[in-house]
Amino acid sequence: MSSIILDGKKLSEKIKSSLKEEITSLKSKSGKQPTLATILVGSNSSSQTYVNMKVKSCESIGMTSKKIELPENTTTEELLSVIDSLNNDKSVNGILLQHPSPKAIDERLAFDRILPEKDVDGVTTLSFGKLSMGEKTFYPCTPYGIMLLMEEYNIPLSGKNAVVVGRSAILGKPMAMLLLDKNATVTICHSQTKNLPDLVHSADIIVGAVGKPELIKGEWIKKGAVVIDAGYNAGNVGDIELSVASLRSSYHTPVPGGVGPMTISVLLKQTVDSFKAGL
Ligand code: NAP
């Protein structure tokens, strides 16, 4: 049996089209529209591309975007003051600080300065704490997008062995918490993990969240496993050797067109949720 593609592009289009309709109706009722502010510090070309994609997606569904670009030598204090002004701006419903910031910036301090009600990218310590406690909050967009994608394809999670490779604050750790919340039995792997191939082989659901091209070999994948590749490396290559993994898996996300588009649509969805909460 061939592996079913988890089509993130298709689901993302469906979410965006329903958001577009909702925004039209919200605008006619309130005379206002949701606004997402994006902050990019420095000139990292991948980050510029990601921010531009987010701004374009905002505009494509009738949302306003406010794009702030700051120079590479911006200090943490200067960045905090920009965040403060966006926090105080009533027309702004969501704030996205593009990761990674230049090394000289205290990025954690900056993330945590974002008001929880405007944290539509789910990056604050408070949002992570609430997520970990199973409380309602904004979620980090990539792991939440992965959850929505698995839900769309009715993939059962309860009692399944899930292995997440990577433990970053924006991806690996919240991914593990969201899977745990759906009663999966979760193992988190990282750079010091021993026996990665065996752990991956034990997984019913495997999530690659590392940032190293095809680190996870196709032959490690158990037959029938669900393969989620969140990695995005140069040359459109993920963290999982998908050419082989997709011959063994039951479902898999393609790269590109799997996890990436879901990240953006979740960001838009959470911005609309923030707007509605403020009406
Ligand atoms: P990150 O902060 O660099 O974290 C990478 C994680 O991988 C770390 O926890 C690290 O372990 C672990 N790791 C490194 N080498 C390893 C190895 N040999 N074996 C096992 N684990 C290893 O990266 P990130 O921000 O989470 O991003 C990960 C990937 O996801 C990247 O390709 C990124 O482009 C992609 N991503 C995609 C989207 C999207 O929208 N599609 C969004 C976010 C990220 P330690 O903690 O021990 O160092």
SS3 25: helix
**Ligand 1: which residue has its CA nearest to atom 8?**
166
Query: Does the C-beta of 171 come closer than 6 Å to ligand 1?
Result: yes
Which atom from ligand 1 is nearest to the alpha carbon of 50?
40
- pLDDT given for residue 107 in this prediction: 97
Residue 154: the pLDDT is: 98
Going by the DSSP 8-state scheme, the letter that residue 84 receives in this structure is: H
Both tokens of 61, joined, read 């569904």
Delimiting residues of CATH 3.40.50.720 domain(s) in the chain: 141-260
Q: What's the rounded mean pLDDT across residues 80-101?
A: 98
Q: Do the beta carbons of residue 232 and residue 257 sit within 8 Å?
A: no
C-beta separation of 172 from 165 below 8 A: yes
Q: What share of the chain is helix, strand, coil (3-state, %, to 5)?
A: 45, 15, 40
Q: Which CATH architecture has domain 31-116?
A: 3-Layer(aba) Sandwich (3.40)
Q: pLDDT tens-digit profile of 190-245?
A: 999 999 999 999 999 999 999 999 999 999 999 999 999 999 999 999 999 999 99
Report which DSSP code applies to 98: P
Place of tokens 């991914």: 175
**Cβ count within 10 A of residue 103:** 7
Rounded average pLDDT over 105-109? 98
Mean pLDDT of 109-134: 98
The CATH 3.40.50.10860 portion of the chain extends over 31-116
Cβ contacts of residue 233 below 8 Å, gap of 6+? 211, 212, 213, 239
Measure 230 CA to ligand 1 centroid, in angstroms.
Answer: 9
| Residue 199: partners with Cβ closer than 8 Å, 6 or more residues away | 163, 187, 189, 193
The rounded Å distance from CA 208 to ligand 1 centre is 8
Q: Both ends of the chain: CA-CA distance in Å?
A: 49
The predicted-structure confidence for 37-67, as pLDDT tens digits, reads as follows 999 999 999 899 999 999 999 999 999 999 9
Ligand 1 pocket check for 170: Cβ under 6 Å: yes
CA 204 to chain centre: 22
Cα(168) to centroid(ligand 1), Å = 6
Contact 233 CB / ligand 1 (< 6 Å): yes
Pocket test residue of 187, 191, 193 for ligand 1, highest count of atoms within 8 A of CB: 191
| Spacing, Cα 228 to ligand 1 middle (Å) | 13
**Predicted local distance difference test score (pLDDT) of residue 1:** 67
Residue 123: per-residue pLDDT: 98
| Ligand 1 atom having least distance to the Cα of 167 | 9
pLDDT tens column, 137-173? 999 999 999 999 999 999 999 999 999 999 999 999 9
Contact (Cβ atoms closer than 8 angstroms) between residue 212 and residue 224 = no
Kindly list the strands in the beta sheet with 251-252, ordered across the sheet, starting from the edge strand earlier in the chain. Answer: 4-5, 251-252, 226-229, 205-208, 161-165, 185-189
Question: In the structure, what pLDDT confidence band is assigned to residue 93 with cuts at 50, 70 and 90?
Answer: very high
How many helices (H) and strands (E) the chain has is answered by 10, 9
Q: Which atom of ligand 1 lies closest to the CA of 172?
A: 26
Cα of 259 to ligand 1 centre, how many Å?
14
Question: Which of these, 270, 245, 273, lies nearest to 258 by C-alpha position?
Answer: 245
The pTM of this model reads 0.97
d(CA 182, CA 155): 11
pLDDT at 164: 99
What is d(CA 162, CA 200) in angstroms, rounded to the nearest whole number?
9
Which residues are catalytic, by number? 54, 98, 121
- Whether domain 141-260 has CATH 3.40.50.720: yes
d(CA 94, CA 104): 25
Q: Which of 51, 121, 190 to mutate to test the pocket of ligand 1 (most atoms within 8 A of CB)?
A: 190
